[in-house]
Amino acid sequence: MQQAAYGAPRARSEHQRAHWNGRYLAARNFLTYEVHRLCAGRMSPWPLPRWSGPLFFLDLDGVFDCEAFGFPHTTASGLAALALLRAHEFGVILNTGRSVEHVRRYCRIYGLPGGVAEYGSVLVDAVGGREVAFTTPVALEQLHRCRDALRALPGVFLDHEYEYAVRAYRYEGGRTVSLPASEVQEILSQPQFQGLACTTTSADTYIVQRGNTKGTAVLAVKRYLDRLDEPVIAMGDSDQDVAMLEVADSWYAPANCSPRIRALARFRAGRVTVRPKQRGFLEATHELLRRQGVLPGRIPSLHRPGGVRSPSDLLMMLLHAAERPLLSQLLAALRWHRL
């Protein structure tokens, strides 16, 4: 993955650019899927997914996943939180900017009933075995033409796994970065792209159908399931999650959340946890269960192993180490011979 990130921006031909970009995406996805598959193996097997219990809309990056290893993966706390929600029959629905293929894989690996991908663009219904597009045919045609326009910009790469939106980026310093806002707006200001809008993170730029957000996706899923009158819970950490949190009946955000979410918590029913990222997700899960009069309990298979007797034990040791607070990491670095 690192070799491809180095080679992609230095490629001299379009063929080489496509080759290195494809290798980067394939390597990153392989690492992501395989580590999550091993993580799921530590959890108790689940029955076939079904739409039942209270709906819990869950963001991936910064909440369930982090990138301590250089690619998306969860930690011991993230696994424990998901296991507790599933054990108490919450309907966990992913709501993410990741590609539809990522959502398909996560649903399959963790036995989730479904998830929304590409910033509110499509619902993956793992129970019914179908996908419901929230992007219109007209917008899909505009997105197709927009891909060509973005691809023509110098140094711009696209993620081919996005089917209902566009993800664009450049490579800098061995990682992906977003495009300048002025560059993207110059394209979207053209009449043929009037139905599209842009959302940006530090790592990439997304083009979606205008009006599609994580918030509209929550309402669309409730309509799809015919559960408009039922309350839903949500958890997210970034500005892109604000729309989702605004339409949720109750919500949580980890301590690493954006200033906009902290401002939202001051006047709308929601709570920012004391702990960040996956530890914040677990803290929110414990509080949610206690509010329902349930003692959360612990999951023995997700405890830190006493020693390394198998690859699975090594993985759990790493997942526990990945979420250490900064001070603990510094102290651990002084004892480099011990994990």
What does the pLDDT read at residue 117? 98
Query: Between these two residues, 20 and 299, which has the higher pLDDT value?
Result: 20
Please say whether the beta carbons of 260 and 239 come within 8 A: yes
- Measure the CA–CA gap between 96 and 46, rounded to whole angstroms: 23
Q: Is 339 a residue whose pLDDT tops 60?
A: no
Q: Is 227 a residue whose pLDDT tops 60?
A: yes
What does the pLDDT read at residue 105? 98
The enclosing H or E element of 41 equals helix 14-41
Q: How far is CA 302 from CA 73, 180, 220, 277, in A?
A: 15, 42, 35, 17
pLDDT per residue as tens digits for the range 53-102: 999 999 999 999 999 999 999 999 999 999 999 989 999 999 999 999 99
- The CATH number fitting domain 42-134+212-291, selected from 3.40.50.1000, 3.30.390.30, 3.30.300.90, 3.90.1150.10: 3.40.50.1000
For helices 14-41 and 311-322, the axis angle rounded to 10 degrees is: 100
Q: How far is CA 104 from CA 70, 96, 129, 166, 300, in A?
A: 22, 12, 10, 18, 28
Please say whether the beta carbons of 214 and 247 come within 8 A: no
Q: Where are the domains of the chain?
A: 42-134+212-291, 136-209, 304-334
What does the pLDDT read at residue 311? 84
- Range in 8-12, 134-138, 189-193, 314-318 the model is least confident about: 314-318
User: What mean pLDDT value characterizes the chain?
Assistant: 93
Q: How many CB atoms lie within 10 A of CB 48?
A: 8
pLDDT per residue as tens digits for the range 266-282: 887 799 999 999 999 99
- Measure the CA–CA gap between 10 and 106, rounded to whole angstroms: 33
State what percent of residues in the chain have pLDDT above 70. Answer: 95
pLDDT per residue as tens digits for the range 127-161: 999 999 999 999 999 999 999 999 999 999 999 99
pLDDT per residue as tens digits for the range 3-42: 999 999 999 999 999 999 999 999 999 999 999 999 998 8
What does the pLDDT read at residue 74? 96
- Measure the CA–CA gap between 84 and 108, rounded to whole angstroms: 18
Q: Residue-wise over 269-299: b if at least 16 C-beta within 10 A, else e?
A: ebebbebbbbbbbbbbbbebbeeeeeebeeb
What does the pLDDT read at residue 337? 58
Q: Is 248 a residue whose pLDDT tops 90?
A: yes
Query: Between these two residues, 105 and 322, which has the higher pLDDT value?
Result: 105
Q: How far is CA 200 from CA 22, 86, 97, 142, 143, in A?
A: 22, 32, 10, 19, 16
Q: Which amino acid is at 338?
A: R
- pLDDT confidence tier of residue 200, bands split at 50, 70 and 90: very high
pLDDT per residue as tens digits for the range 163-172: 999 999 999 9
